[in-house]
Structure 1
């Protein structure tokens, strides 16, 4: 599945696909929430989590760029 196919899915289908096919890579915490990074084929899904309820707030989908760079810069993720 490519990133555009994923984005064409309904919100519910995106979450189902993430939980079924997503591979957890890493996470980090900020002051009031945490973020979990998953890979699906050749793109990434960042899930924002509510710390107090440990439940998802939202997701961001990307293949490269600043969102991915923050994981690389912090040394949380090593990609070839």
Structure 2
């Protein structure tokens, strides 16, 4: 599935795809918000959920950019020049 196809779906269909096909990549806490990053095919979905109620506060789908970079920066990559 392409990102544009996902975005063209209604909210309920998007959540069905997210729960059925999404792979949880990372999670972090910021105050009372739990941020979850899922991968679906060649794009990502970030969910913000309230910690106490588990209510979804926000959802955004994307391929790259600052939203993805904040997760990637948590896992520095080291290259071995001898390989």
Normalised by the size of structure 2, how large is the TM-score? 0.86
Tell me if 1:18 matches 2:18: yes
Partner Cα distance (1:7, 1:54) in 2: 23
**Secondary structure of residue in 2 paired with 1:5:** helix
User: Within 5 A, what are the aligned runs for 1:44-59?
Assistant: 44-59=44-59
Residue 65 of structure 1: how far off its partner (Å): 0.1
User: Which residue matches 1:43?
Assistant: 43
User: Which residue matches 2:8?
Assistant: 8
Paired residue total: 77
User: Which residue matches 1:60?
Assistant: 60
**Secondary structure of residue in 2 paired with 1:28:** strand
User: Which residue matches 2:81?
Assistant: none
Q: Which runs of 5+ in 2 are unaligned?
A: 78-83
Normalised by the size of structure 1, how large is the TM-score? 0.89
Partner Cα distance (1:70, 1:53) in 2: 25
Partner Cα distance (1:26, 1:12) in 2: 23
Residue 32 of structure 1: how far off its partner (Å): 2.1
| 1:5-41 residue CA offsets vs partner (Å, 9 max, x unmatched) | 0000001111111001101111000012010000000
Q: Which runs of 5+ in 1 are unaligned?
A: none
Larger gyration radius, structure 1 or structure 2: 2
